[in-house]
Amino acid sequence: MPPKSYGVTDEKLVTKCANPNHGNVYEARAHKGKARLMFFYSEEEEAVIVCTNPFWKGQGNQDGAFSTCAKLKSIFEKYYDEPHKGT
């Protein structure tokens, strides 16, 4: 479950990806409706990074959306987090 310090007010609407190949990426579900947001945390920057995607409940590929989010997390960590460590 995501850290409460990031402002998650309803933990049942946030789910960590069950596929271990994707690492620590999450899905936030709309309170009502089918909208979904994939996101990850930057511990170094103390930030939530939201990844846009074409996945809605019942439409699209959920695992593919998690996979894209994991790839974006990897890119972010390589090009943003790493150079800023210790500054």
Whether residue 4 is contained in a domain is answered as no
Q: What is the pLDDT of residue 87?
A: 54
Number of domains the chain contains: 1
Q: What is the pLDDT of residue 32?
A: 78
Whether residue 3 is contained in a domain is answered as no
Q: What is the pLDDT of residue 1?
A: 45
Whether residue 2 is contained in a domain is answered as no
Q: What is the pLDDT of residue 6?
A: 55
DSSP 26-71: EEEE-SSSSBEEEEEEETTTTEEEEE--S-BTTBS-HHHHHHHHHH
Residue type, 72: L
Q: What range does the domain containing 63 cover?
A: 10-84
Q: What is the pTM of this model?
A: 0.73
Both tokens of residue 29? 């579900």
Q: What is the pLDDT of residue 22?
A: 93
Whether residue 77 is contained in a domain is answered as yes
End-to-end Cα separation, the chain, in angstroms: 28
Q: Residues in the chain with pLDDT < 70?
A: 1-9, 81-87
